[in-house]
A = this chain, B = another copy of it.
Amino acid sequence: MAKPLEALLRALQSLPGVGAKSASRMAFHLLQHDRAGALELARALTRGLAELRHCSRCFTFTDAELCATCADPQRDDSLLCVLETPADQAALERTGVYRGRYFVLMGKLGPLAAPGPQDNGLQRLMERLHSPEASAVRELVLATSFTAEGEATAHLIAQALKGREIKVTRLARGVPLGSELEYVDLGTIAHALADRR
């Protein structure tokens, strides 16, 4: 096989969830049917690497010192929502109902994750809460995943904030909209029953 093709197949496999077969399908699709798309992807990767960095306040990805949300004077400074990833943040933003600030952990905390010294989301969160621009925060909304790791992360953060005058809340657990009870897992139904209103 030609060297550049081998290199392309190998590089595509560095994408999460892409194995040898997907990589080969992707490479041949791009080369045969979508060279413009391939060029666009190469450019977007190069530009993304050069321009995207972490927002100095909330740590989401941005191309400026502060991301658009942190720089927006209209957002509610008393609410701070803690999430795991910029993808989670984008999902919450799409709902259009949250008008507070964000803090993105960029991963999970706790024993299952192994963060390096620079990669410690909890420590960065504490620093954020001690900073002058966080003095208005009255409520921390923990919006980490409802998985074992996400729950552990939420628990660690709640522990670390004990004794401080910040209310700590968690997104409600319950039955997703559009679900028939029959197909919802038992743990979710139990939570929805306990938190009924």
Contact = CB atoms under 8 A, between A and B. Distances in A.
Interface of A: 1-5, 7-8, 10-12, 14-17, 21-22, 24-32, 34-35, 37-49, 51-52, 61-64, 67-68, 85-87, 90, 106-107
A27 B5 contact: no
Copies in the complex: 2
A64 B5 CA distance: 12
B45 A39 contact: yes
B17 A52 contact: no
A87 B24 CA distance: 6
A145 B44 CA distance: 35
A15 B31 contact: no
A1 B22 CA distance: 28
Contact of A29 (B16, B35, B49): B16
Contact of A61 (B2, B7, B85, B90): B2
